[in-house]
Chain A
Amino acid sequence: MAVKTGSVERLVGSYQAWAANGASRVPAWLKDLREGGIRRFVELGFPNLKQEAWRFTSVAPIAETQFELAHPASRIPHLEEIQPFLVGEAGDRLVFVDGFFAPALSTSLPGGVRVASLAQALRENPETIQHHLCKYAKTDERPFCALNTAFVAEGAFVHVPAKLRVAEPIQLLFLTTTDRQVVVHPRNLVVVDREARASIVETYAALAENVYWTNAVTEIVVGDGARVDYHRVQRESNRAFHVAATQSHQGQGSTLNLHFVAFGSALARHDIGAVLAGPGGTLILNGLYLLAGAQHADHHTTIDHAADHCQSHEYFNGVLDGHSRGVFTGRIIVRPGAQKTDSKQTNNNLLLSADAHADSQPQLEIYADDVKCTHGSTVGPLDPRALFYLRSRGVGENEARRLLTYGFAAEILGRVEVAPLRVQLDRIVRDRVAQP
């Protein structure tokens, strides 16, 4: 089904108006990036079902809806209203309301870490941003990433200097409050220098069940010997559209733990790319998607072993209820010379209802021989033996189902080390699972 080209033109028109109107007061290199972005988007257009990377996910609902760029919210929420989306109040925090930085809700503590809105950082220290921005998340085959690049203006900038260990998780909250049909393009850049250590929680949420579109891109740069624990929580409105790209780049001997949890939106697509660029790196990719009703979520992960002696473990679980559809495509690439790679990937899907639908594509592309690569994928219902075991111990059937479903999700949540986040996510899962 071809996507109407009118939708592309509409977006281009929106870009031109925006670029002409004040968004042009930026350094030349940024202007070039934006121009490159919109040109690429026009070249590629919206993806269609005939393209391999999009064969299970139709973006027609996004393309056919008229979205306008958001305006600063007339009312900034109170701290109490955003507390359910936070994991405590210690630590640095950046809050964006409808895509605009909300300083009243944000905190930036003294102490070495640079946490600022991208717009502010572009004014104050553009060199670091120029050095890294768009260097990792390539727009070559990715129209949505190109579109985000065209509109790059605001988002989170985090820079942890070498050897610094940040005690509290740095929180990035993107909240939509407007009831207008808006599109927001958050652009985040996280740079953690050598031997530093930080944990970050990036959350997308809404105050009401409105229709809007989030088109986000996050780039994470992990320096040699550094450790980053990155958590991304997608709990958008159930009528919203969420398209995202997360791209990480790891230096020698570094550790990156990526956690992705997706509960919300009507249609979600997340492209996760992780490059192990230096030897001896470790990557954990831990993901959960919990879908019900008519939700559709498509996760595309690529782990690129570009150096030797790296280790990657990917665990992605999907719980599908109602007539939801969960798509998972996980590619592991082991480049020539990436010897002693140790890579393991599992995708387990639990189908809870007769109309739920799972697609799983675990992929291996291997060009080095002295490696250990395995992947596994399962799709199925709750284990009848486990159900029977619980029932034989007196647990009612419905309760047994809830317990086992919760356990399936808890396996992923158990790897989250930020305790208040784990508690928050745990509560969400329990609530979702408890619904009849």
Chain B
Amino acid sequence: MIQLGKNTRSTIVSKGLSAGRGQNTYRGLVKLMKGAEGARNYSQCDSMLIGDKCGAHTFPYIDVRNSTAIMEHEASTSKIGEDQIFYLRQRGLSSEDAVSMIVNGFCKEVFKELPMEFAVEATRLLGISLEGSVG
């Protein structure tokens, strides 16, 4: 994300899911140049790990050259909590469905910005990709 002009605003939301032996890496550049007076950027990078053989990595590059610009970056890593799964199971969902629901919830922020058909496709693809990776 390169911001050259005044009062430009950008938001980056990245959600990474790793399962099995997958290694997921976010590598992003946010550059607020000298002319980007009053520019703003907010970046959020969240990773979810399913299983203990995968990895999640975040490598942001932040370059700010204007003193009126504001840049905020946050990243966090989580796994699907045992308590979360139990809560959903106590309400009648199977383990697999519980995981599926939590994972979809995790990706919601990204999916909800997609056009309907794409979102449906993405959700389906997510389900297929994660099939058999939990347990």
Residues of A within 8 A of B (CB): 336-337, 339, 349, 351-354, 356-381
Contacts of B78 in A (CB 8 A): 372
Closest to A364 in B: B58
Q: Are A365 and B57 in contact (CB under 8 A)?
A: yes
Contacts of B72 in A (CB 8 A): 376-378, 380
A53: min CB distance to chain B, Å? 13
**22 sampled A-B residue pairs with Cβ under 8 A:** A336-B53, A337-B52, A339-B52, A349-B64, A351-B67, A361-B59, A361-B61, A362-B60, A363-B58, A365-B55, A366-B49, A366-B57, A367-B54, A368-B52, A369-B49, A369-B52, A369-B54, A372-B77, A372-B78, A377-B60, A378-B73, A379-B69
Closest to B78 in A: A372
B100: min CB distance to chain A, Å? 17
Q: How far, in angstroms, from A244 to B77 measured CA to CA in the complex?
A: 31
If the complex has contacts A349-B64, A377-B62, are A371 and B75 also in contact, measured as CB distance less than 8 A?
A: no
B88 within 8 A of partner (CB): no
Q: How far, in angstroms, from A360 to B70 measured CA to CA in the complex?
A: 13
Q: Which of B60, B63, B65, B76 sits near A374, CB closer than 8 Å?
A: B76
B123 within 8 A of partner (CB): no
Q: Are B62 and A360 in contact (CB under 8 A)?
A: yes
The 9 closest A-B pairs by CB, nearest first: A369-B49, A351-B67, A380-B70, A379-B64, A369-B79, A373-B77, A360-B62, A364-B58, A374-B76
B101 within 8 A of partner (CB): no
Closest to A351 in B: B67
Q: How far, in angstroms, from A376 to B76 measured CA to CA in the complex?
A: 9
If the complex has contacts A357-B65, A359-B62, A361-B59, are A380 and B77 also in contact, measured as CB distance less than 8 A?
A: no
Contacts of B50 in A (CB 8 A): 369
If the complex has contacts A336-B52, A349-B64, are A366 and B75 also in contact, measured as CB distance less than 8 A?
A: no
A297: min CB distance to chain B, Å? 16
Q: Which of B59, B67, B79 sits near A354, CB closer than 8 Å?
A: B67
Contacts of A366 in B (CB 8 A): 47, 49, 55-57, 77
Contacts of B71 in A (CB 8 A): 360, 377-380
Contacts of B59 in A (CB 8 A): 361, 363
B83 within 8 A of partner (CB): no
Q: Which of A359, A362, A381 sits near B63, CB closer than 8 Å?
A: A359
Q: How far, in angstroms, from A337 to B53 measured CA to CA in the complex?
A: 9
Q: How many A-B Cβ pairs are below 8 Å? A: 110
- Main SS of the interface on chain A? strand
Contacts of B63 in A (CB 8 A): 357-359
Contacts of A368 in B (CB 8 A): 49, 52
B8 within 8 A of partner (CB): no
B41: min CB distance to chain A, Å? 9
Contacts of B60 in A (CB 8 A): 360-363, 377
Q: How far, in angstroms, from A369 to B77 measured CA to CA in the complex?
A: 8
Q: How far, in angstroms, from A364 to B68 measured CA to CA in the complex?
A: 28
Q: How far, in angstroms, from A364 to B72 measured CA to CA in the complex?
A: 16
Q: Are B76 and A353 in contact (CB under 8 A)?
A: no
Q: Are B79 and A371 in contact (CB under 8 A)?
A: yes
B116: min CB distance to chain A, Å? 32
B131 within 8 A of partner (CB): no
Q: How far, in angstroms, from A378 to B64 measured CA to CA in the complex?
A: 10
Q: Are A380 and B52 in contact (CB under 8 A)?
A: no
Q: Are B67 and A361 in contact (CB under 8 A)?
A: no
Known: A377-B60, A377-B73. 13 other contacts (CB 8 A): A354-B67, A360-B62, A361-B59, A361-B60, A363-B57, A364-B75, A369-B50, A372-B77, A375-B58, A375-B73, A379-B71, A380-B69, A381-B68
Closest to B77 in A: A373
If the complex has contacts A354-B66, A357-B65, A366-B49, are A373 and B55 also in contact, measured as CB distance less than 8 A?
A: no
Q: Which of A336, A353, A362 sits near B75, CB closer than 8 Å?
A: A362
Q: Which of B54, B67, B73 sits near A360, CB closer than 8 Å?
A: B73
